[in-house]
Structure 1
Amino acid sequence: MDDIKKEIVEAIKQYSTIIIHRHLNPDPDALGSQIGLLHVIKHSYPSKVVHAVGEEVGRLQFIGRMDVIPDDVYRDALVVVCDTANLSRISDSRYKMGKRLIKIDHHPDQESFGDLSWVDPSFSSASEMLVDLCLGFPDDLKLNKEAARAFYTGIIGDTGNFQKGKISPGTLEIASILRSYNFQPERIHNFLNIKTKHSSHLQRDIMMSYKRTDKGVAYFVMTEEMLSKYDIDRTEASNLINTLSGLKGVRIWVFFIEYPEEIRVRIRSRNTPIDSVARMFNGGGHPFASGANIPTWEAVDQVIHALNQVCP
């Protein structure tokens, strides 16, 4: 693994243009790892051209903004994809137009890609991986306040404020190092945990009208009409996923959220691996936190049936 890390660092040093991607529908770790790496490279090598690309999420723009670049920027560029397990989930399909491709991810390695691939599920997040890389090569990759802030946001997002996921002593040590950069971490916690009046009302109605199977799969359907009724965007709505997590007897909880061209599925569980089901429906992720996509509402029953099958 150290050889791969060294090769990644050497590639970053070699290329004058670097373009950083991450997965579709980004969460704090996807954006935190992407923006954090951008700031590290810009700080370490001011003469390099570095871009972060992909769609933006309004409530997460505090982490960093995306660049809009023409295709020709990819010519002779190094492309780095953070926090993305499979090719189909990479935001902005132009990743394939670069000269060289690197994958850095902490999800289980179900689809290998890239000229260089560093995948390690023992880390809490892709953000933690990149801090580890910086600490391992301090003369080549230098942290600064902006990078520390982005990486910390990613770690907080994927560990649920250090309450879930793979949290090791190393995770806490890295968080402590990042906090030493004095970027007001309490503001990040506030940004990620804030709920509007509208989302509170929706959360109440989720508790009143969710459905549950005999196997312990709880689920809730959010239509376009419902989102309009509550005047809430899809990102804020999807962040309510753990509303159903504390219910007695519930082993798996699921949100189905309507988008213009598909229905996105957010799946969480307490101890039951669900990533295999997500992969059945054009998705993937962690054993206990995954996402998927279905084309129509008719497929909802298929997802629920598959989740019932994996319940013990």
Structure 2
Amino acid sequence: MEAIKNEIMNEIEKYETVIIHRHVRPDPDAYGSQLGLKGYLQAKFPTKQIYAVGESEPSLDFIGTFDDINDSTYEGALVIVCDTANSPRISDSRFSLGEKLIKIDHHPAIDQYGDINFVNVQASSTSEIITDFIIHFNDLTIIDETVARLLYIGIVGDTGRFLFNNTTPHTLEIASELLKFPFNHNDELNQLAEKEPSLLPFQGYVLQNFQLNDKGFCKVIITSDVLETFDIAPNEASLFVNTIADIKGLKIWLFAVDEGEEIRCRIRSKGIVINDVASDFGGGGHPNASGVSVDSWETFEHLANALNKKL
């Protein structure tokens, strides 16, 4: 791990332009690791051109914003992709236009698309990896509370406020280092949890329409009709994937949202590996938090049956 950190820094030092990508449908860790790395590199190399690109997620706009750059900017540039397991999920397909490509991630290493691939599946988040990277070079003293805030948000997001089983003693040590910076972490936690009042009737629908069996498997099915009834967008509906997480006896749950061209299925579990099933259906992710898109409700039922068999 230490050698690859040095190798990555050697590459960064060679390039005057560094462009940072992450995955589509960004979550707090995608935002935090990408923008945190950008802020760190800007502090360490003030004369370099450092950019972060990709589509925004309105519910996460409070975290930060992204750059709009021309294709020509990629000429002779170093591209770094954060928090993205496989290349089809990289936001902004121009990532391949750079001169060299580096992958930094904590998901299982299924698609090693980079010229250099730094994958640490023991890390809670890519934001934890970026913080370790900064500490490795004794650079905590050159970052400010803005960078620390971004990385902390990423760690909090992927650990579910340190409640998920990917939270390790090292994760908490890293978080404690970031909390030494003067940002208001309570405000950040509150903003991560906040939802528009207009969305809460939909939360009530989820709580009244989940399908739980006696094995501890649960399905939540959100059709286009439901989205229309509650005037809610698919990405907004996905914010409620953990609404049922506190049900007693729950072991695996499948939250499916009809997005028009595909049905996006988010899979969660409590201690049971489910990313192998997601992979069988063309998806992937973490052992206890994965996702997959299917083309029909019939395929969705096959996915549900495969997950149910896990129990």
TM-score of the superposition, structure 2-length normalised?
0.95
Q: Write out per-residue CA displacement over residues 56-97 of structure 1, whole angstroms, 9 at most, x where no aligned residue.
A: 100101111122222111111111111111112111111111
In the alignment, which residue of structure 2 is the partner of 1:264?
264
**Number of matched pairs:** 311
Q: Is the 8 A contact 1:255 1:265 kept in 2?
A: yes
Alignment of 1:117-196 (within 5 A): 117-138=117-138, 142-196=142-196
Which amino acid in structure 1 is aligned with residue 107 of structure 2? H
| Structure 2 unpaired stretches of 5+ | none
Shift in Å, 1:110: 1.8
In the alignment, which residue of structure 2 is the partner of 1:3?
3
In the alignment, which residue of structure 2 is the partner of 1:232?
232
Q: Write out per-residue CA displacement over residues 216-267 of structure 1, whole angstroms, 9 at most, x where no aligned residue.
A: 3211122233223223333332121112222233211111112242221111
Which one is further off, 260-269 or 24-33?
260-269
Q: Sequence identity, in percent? A: 44
In the alignment, which residue of structure 2 is the partner of 1:286?
286
RMSD (Å), alpha carbons: 1.7
Using a 3 Å threshold, how does the CA distance of structure 1 residues 309 and 141 change in structure 2: closer, same or farther? farther
Using a 3 Å threshold, how does the CA distance of structure 1 residues 155 and 139 change in structure 2: closer, same or farther? closer
Which amino acid in structure 2 is aligned with residue 230 of structure 1? F
In the alignment, which residue of structure 2 is the partner of 1:198?
198
* SS at 1:239 equivalent: helix
Q: Is the 8 A contact 1:19 1:79 kept in 2?
A: yes
Following the alignment from structure 1 to structure 2, what is the Cα–Cα distance between the partners of residues 310 and 139?
45
Following the alignment from structure 1 to structure 2, what is the Cα–Cα distance between the partners of residues 162 and 6?
29
Which one is further off, 42-51 or 246-255?
246-255
TM-score of the superposition, structure 1-length normalised?
0.94
Shift in Å, 1:289: 0.3
* 2:102 is the counterpart of 1:102: yes
Following the alignment from structure 2 to structure 1, what is the Cα–Cα distance between the partners of residues 32 and 132?
14
Shift in Å, 1:207: 1.8
Q: Is the 8 A contact 1:134 1:141 kept in 2?
A: no
Which one is further off, 236-245 or 180-189?
236-245
In the alignment, which residue of structure 2 is the partner of 1:310?
310
Shift in Å, 1:141: 9.1
* SS at 1:25 equivalent: coil
Which amino acid in structure 2 is aligned with residue 304 of structure 1? A
* SS at 1:84 equivalent: coil
Q: Is the 8 A contact 1:207 1:244 kept in 2?
A: yes
Q: Write out per-residue CA displacement over residues 22-79 of structure 1, whole angstroms, 9 at most, x where no aligned residue.
A: 1111110011100100111111111111111111100101111122222111111111
Which amino acid in structure 2 is aligned with residue 50 of structure 1? I
Q: Write out per-residue CA displacement over residues 109-168 of structure 1, whole angstroms, 9 at most, x where no aligned residue.
A: 122221111111111100010000001102599422221111011001001111113222
Which one is further off, 1-10 or 132-141?
132-141
In the alignment, which residue of structure 1 is the partner of 2:244?
244
Q: Is the 8 A contact 1:134 1:142 kept in 2?
A: no
Shift in Å, 1:303: 1.2
Following the alignment from structure 1 to structure 2, what is the Cα–Cα distance between the partners of residues 136 and 125?
17
